[in-house]
Amino acid sequence: MNTPPKLIDPFARPITYLRVSVTDRCDFRCTYCMAENMTFLPKKELLSLEELDRLCSTFIGLGLRKLRITGGEPLVRKGIMTFFQAMTRHLDSGALDELTLTTNGSQLTRFAQPLFDAGVRRINISLDTLDADKFAQITRWGRLPQVLDGIQAAKAAGLRVKINVVALKGFNENELFDLVAWCAREDMDLTFIEVMPMGDIGGEDRIDQYWALTDLRARLSQRYTLTPLTERTGGPARYVTLAQTGQKIGFITPLTHNFCESCNRVRMTCTGDLYMCLGQEDRADLRSPLRASQSDALLINAIHEAIARKPKGHDFDYSRQKIDGQVPRHMSHTGG
């Protein structure tokens, strides 16, 4: 049998990493991610778990090596563990190097062990503050103790935890060193992320929220010795180690220093739209070819056509005190 050609974009970048949103729903309403009163997609528009399996398996057949499951909050999707368990076969065969997810941590006391049993070894947990009152403020609906319990459950199950912190001016600036010290004590990696201009978030001002990671990194260097690492995990983060603690800190900087030149990833929504760039609106409908035929030929063709349109980079920009490159969809729709 002939192996289909691997996915190479117009700028000679191999596409080996797919991020899949399995739901746009979430049990939090983080102020930088979505509006408090969200209108979610009708369930009939969502891909079934079987369709998600078929789509991801098709990508794996085209050379995909890493699969990250996102949302919304992926673990609130009913029956989601059957999907993770189905993907285990690709890990077992060696066709897939890594199956992982990004979560808010709220459901991990229930799902950490089943995720490990399905082959997940590394997870990202989004957590922007260690202050319970501020956590309730930023998530609108969240409870910090539930997330902290989930983190402990994940560690007990054997999952390697990375904490993702969105850097928010005036909100968690004064917790910078507390977050670093906490992650060092708990033996967890830590990545800081610049807030991205995506979606109407109900009156919050992106420019007021924006804290450049160049400033954050400069503050860190006043207390720690930062040594850059060449290591990459397949995503957009650039890493340093802190000499004083030995821990690894990542920086995802779509605005102050974009990472487009090495982009190896695409994102698929829970409705089957493939976004070739997080910061662009161009997308490809994969649901229609998926449902049009039991053969994967139409779907494979649609994927190749989409990758051929992948742009060189995004246009996010906060300069001149206005938001250029803003996209109207919420982060929860595309997936983190």
Domain ranges of the chain: 17-334
User: What pLDDT was estimated at residue 3?
Assistant: 58
Q: Tell whether the model's pLDDT for residue 5 goes beyond 70.
A: no
Q: Is 72 annotated as a binding residue?
A: yes
Q: Is 26 annotated as a binding residue?
A: yes
Q: Is 265 annotated as a binding residue?
A: yes
User: What pLDDT was estimated at residue 152?
Assistant: 98
What the block records as the tokens of 28 is 């939090």
Could you report the per-residue pLDDT of 22-51, keeping only the tens digit for each?
999 888 887 777 777 777 888 888 999 999
CA distance 114 to 94: 20
Q: Is 13 annotated as a binding residue?
A: no
Query: What string of H, E and C letters represents the secondary structure of the chain?
Result: CCCCCCCECCCCCECCEEEEECCCCCCCCCCCCCCCCCCCCCHHHCCCHHHHHHHHHHHHHCCCCEEEEECCCHHHCCCHHHHHHHHHHHHHHCCCCEEEEEECCCCHHHHHHHHHHCCCCEEEEECCCCCHHHHHHHHCCCCHHHHHHHHHHHHHHCCEEEEEEEEECCCCHHHHHHHHHHHHHCCCEEEEEECCCECCCCCCCHHHHECCHHHHHHHHHHHCCEEECCCCCCCCCEEEEECCCCCEEEEECCCCCCCHHHCCEEEECCCCEEECCCCCCCEEECHHHHHHCCCCHHHHHHHHHHHCCCCCCCCCECHHHCCECCECCCHHHHCC
Q: Tell whether the model's pLDDT for residue 265 goes beyond 50.
A: yes
* 17-334 CATH fold: TIM Barrel (3.20.20)
How much of the chain, in percent, has pLDDT values that exceed 70?
85
* C-beta atoms surrounding 121 within 10 Å: 13
Q: Is 166 annotated as a binding residue?
A: no
Q: Model confidence at 287, in pLDDT bands (50, 70, 90)?
A: very high
User: What pLDDT was estimated at residue 200?
Assistant: 47
Q: Tell whether the model's pLDDT for residue 138 goes beyond 60.
A: yes
Q: Is 19 annotated as a binding residue?
A: yes
Could you report the per-residue pLDDT of 87-99, keeping only the tens digit for each?
999 999 999 999 9
Q: Model confidence at 59, in pLDDT bands (50, 70, 90)?
A: very high
Mean pLDDT lowest for which of 3-17, 89-103, 128-142, 297-311? 3-17
User: What pLDDT was estimated at residue 321?
Assistant: 42
Q: Is 25 annotated as a binding residue?
A: no
Query: Using only C-alpha atoms, what is the Rg of the chain?
Result: 19
Q: Is 56 annotated as a binding residue?
A: no
Q: Is 183 annotated as a binding residue?
A: no
Q: Which amino acid, one-letter code, is at 235?
A: G
Of the two residues 21 and 254, the one the predictor is more confident about is 21
Q: Is 17 annotated as a binding residue?
A: no
Look up the pTM and report it. Answer: 0.86
Q: Is 122 annotated as a binding residue?
A: no
Q: Tell whether the model's pLDDT for residue 325 goes beyond 60.
A: no
CA distance 284 to 9: 14
